[in-house]
Amino acid sequence: MTREQDVDAAVAAGADALGFVLWPGSKRAIDEARLAELTARVPAFVTRVGLFVDQDPGLIHRCAAHLDLLQFHGDESPEACAAFARPWIKALRMRDGLDLHALAAAHDGARALLLDAYRPGVPGGTGATFDWSRIPAGLAKPVILAGGLTPDNVAEAVARVQPFAVDVSGGVEAAPGVKDAGRIAAFLQAVRRGDALRAAGNAQCPGTPDP
Ligand SMILES: O=C(O)c1ccccc1NCC(=O)[C@H](O)[C@H](O)COP(=O)(O)O
């Protein structure tokens, strides 16, 4: 979120959480002052998530005053993630050979693992999907599915993967950092459609193989 109207549109559409990128390398980056302004608009019970990539602990401490949850998107150790007085989640980029069971155990203190696409040199917001069948059953942590989700594919993603939550950035934008209220609303509707498909046993989900 970089703009007031995008915060308002996401809240109106029923988003449970809003993300604020504090990493200056992102086209969606905001600074501490903007974080304070934008998060002040967020109503109670909508989670304010701050996103960091291997950043200065002092900055994270200051930003935490405006945040409910910290999202670590770099190579932070579990100990580094746990050093702030806020719940946290760890983003894992799905490069080849990841042992998600071992990583879930290593990140015991995380509230969830956010699984995102891997693209060398780009820590996040790639707009790329990954092969969802690589997510093993029975992970010890709730999964937040991310990476290339859009209003067109998120219903299938929810029905197939059955994640705890989904995360989207580029799929609801008109341009990097500029969200589109229509796409946000369409995304949230598609999430609910996917949840209904899931509850109905995936019967109509196009991506689910026949039993
Ligand atoms: O969004 C960014 O610009 C970004 C930059 C660096 C690290 C993380 C970033 N975003 C993190 C997110 O949680 C995104 O929502 C996630 O990577 C999915 O992005 P997209 O594929 O565009 O939906």
> What are the tens digits of pLDDT across the range 25-77?
999 999 999 999 999 999 999 999 999 999 999 999 999 999 999 999 999 99
For residue 154, what pLDDT is reported?
98
Element (H, E) at 113: strand 113-116
One-letter amino acid at 139 equals L
173-175/178-179 β-pairing: antiparallel
Ligand 1 geometric centre to CA of 125 (Å): 3
pTM listed for this prediction: 0.94
Length of the chain: 211
Region 191-210 average pLDDT: 71
Ligand 1 geometric centre to CA of 200 (Å): 31
Give the separation between CA 50 and CA 47, rounded to whole angstroms: 10
Q: Which atom of ligand 1 is nearest to the CA of 127?
A: 21
Q: Which atom of ligand 1 is nearest to the CA of 28?
A: 3
pLDDT of residue 209 exceeding 80, the answer is no
Give the separation between CA 118 and CA 128, rounded to whole angstroms: 8
For residue 201, what pLDDT is reported?
84
Two tokens, residue 126: 């790639």
Give the separation between CA 176 and CA 46, rounded to whole angstroms: 23
Report how far apart the first and last C-alpha atoms of the chain are (Å, whole number): 41
Give the separation between CA 142 and CA 134, rounded to whole angstroms: 15
Confidence of residue 203 (pLDDT cuts 50, 70, 90): very low
Ligand 1 geometric centre to CA of 169 (Å): 6
Pocket of ligand 1 (CB under 6 A): 19, 21, 23, 26-28, 51, 53, 73, 116, 123-127, 146-149, 167-171
Region 159-182 average pLDDT: 97
Give the separation between CA 31 and CA 8, rounded to whole angstroms: 19
Ligand 1 geometric centre to CA of 201 (Å): 30
Model ipTM over 0.95: yes
One-letter amino acid at 176 equals P
Q: Where are the domains of the chain?
A: 4-199
- Pick the closest to residue 116 from 69, 55, 70, 163 (CA basis): 163
Rounded alpha-carbon distances, angstroms, from residue 112 to 69, 81, 88, 100 = 11, 12, 8, 12
In the CATH hierarchy, which top-level class contains the domain 4-199?
alpha beta
Residue 47: other Cβ atoms inside 10 A: 15
143-145/165-166 β-pairing: parallel
For residue 210, what pLDDT is reported?
38
pLDDT of residue 170 exceeding 70, the answer is yes
H runs (alpha helix) in the chain: 4-13, 32-39, 57-64, 78-81, 100-106, 154-161, 181-199
Confidence of residue 202 (pLDDT cuts 50, 70, 90): low
One-letter amino acid at 19 equals G
> What are the tens digits of pLDDT across the range 91-147?
999 999 999 999 999 999 999 999 999 999 999 999 999 999 999 999 999 999 999
